[in-house]
Amino acid sequence: MKIEDCVNLDDLRILAKKRVPKLIYDFIEGGVDDEGGLERNEAAYKRLALAPRYMVDISKLDQSTRLFGRTYASAYGIAPTGGVGNYRRGGDLMLARAARDANIPFIMSGAATAAMEDMAREAPDHGWYQLYTARDRAISEDQIKRAADLGIPVLVVTVDVPASPNRERNRRNGFGRPLKLTLKTKLDALRRPLWMKDYLQHGIAMLENWKAYAPPDADAEGVSAFLATQVPTSVTWKDIENFRARWPGKLVLKGVMRADDATRAADLGVDGLIVSNHGARQLDRAPSPLDVFPAINAAVGDRMTLMTDGGIRRGADVLIALAMGAKFVFLGRPTLYGAIAGGEIGAAKAIRIVNDEMNKIMAQIGCPSLDQLGPDFLHRPPEDLRRNLQD
């Protein structure tokens, strides 16, 4: 199967799996502990159905969405994923350019293998930066200043990584930081000659945004080892106050899963939240973001811009999240698989697949523009109806 033959996002996943060794694929695809959170994220969307409205003029369909003072072509963007250059050399900027060309936002990971300076040059106005707070807060403050000086419009502070998670797939595969291949992994990688050739030629990718803070003359492995001394660490409300004071643009917290935390964030002047459980890669027993979204929306939906991610595998999932009240949605693994499978062309293919699916579903449910989408397009399951009758 070729990129042009892919008809859905799962086809891109299958192609990506064929290009990288098991060590890499499991790192991207895996969760933590028993990996029940992965299933829970996707199941939350599958439990919900869309109620179609017919006799509607759907000759013109409009996905355009206003977010933080800018009009994007649709209501979804590319979520941050770390270490992309170890899966596809140059992958961070491939994703950034694909987002730029599609007029959707791209969030550069705090563990990116390209520099925020390169992103700002390649995808001005479309590139956001995700901050992983360092133990040495001076590093975080300098990264904030760098992003502000570059005119990056949105800073996304990830708050849900207080400790290293128990990613059992990684432990079984010997995946560590810095990335080093065992003999077993190298033998497996020989079955993926394009990936192996790149690894032998270049080694692991440099974590460019951390290079300036590592010991002088540190190579890619040295910078990766330095990052491991700085992250993870606890992020406190005092940190958020500090970041808010230093950051002149829009400030978003990623990982908030409680209404009381959302309220406190709003009180501190945070502009938005990405309701997220880190793609089910931190706490396996965490609920799905979609399941906690209504409570957070009820608490602060009129005060902040609420977004979400996790478990989105279809254009219909994007529409369900928007109908639930999300103003924007982010996808991580699907676009990453596109980039791994086919570079920038593959990333663009993933975006086209989502766009096409959304257009088809919008037409099917009688919703010609996303600004008309609301909870009335969600089918209410019988148990909800029974609960209302009992009340």
Catalytic residue among 126, 202, 278, 379: 278
Q: How far apart are CA 159 and CA 275, in angstroms?
A: 11
DSSP string covering 146-182, please?
HHHHTT-SEEEEE---SS----HHHHHHT--SS----
Q: What is the pLDDT of residue 384?
A: 58
Q: How far apart are CA 299 and CA 191, in angstroms?
A: 51
Q: What is the pLDDT of residue 217?
A: 94
Q: What is the pLDDT of residue 184?
A: 80
**Does the annotation mark 379 as catalytic?**
no
Mean pLDDT by 10 residues, the chain (391 residues): 96 97 94 97 96 97 98 98 96 98 98 98 97 98 98 98 94 77 82 92 95 97 96 97 98 98 98 98 97 98 98 98 98 97 98 98 98 93 54 46
Q: Which fold has domain 3-390?
A: TIM Barrel (3.20.20)
Domain ranges for the chain: 3-390
E strand segments, the chain: 49-50, 65-67, 70-72, 76-78, 106-108, 127-131, 154-158, 250-254, 272-275, 305-309, 328-331, 378-379
Q: What is the pLDDT of residue 173?
A: 85
Q: How far apart are CA 271 and CA 264, in angstroms?
A: 12
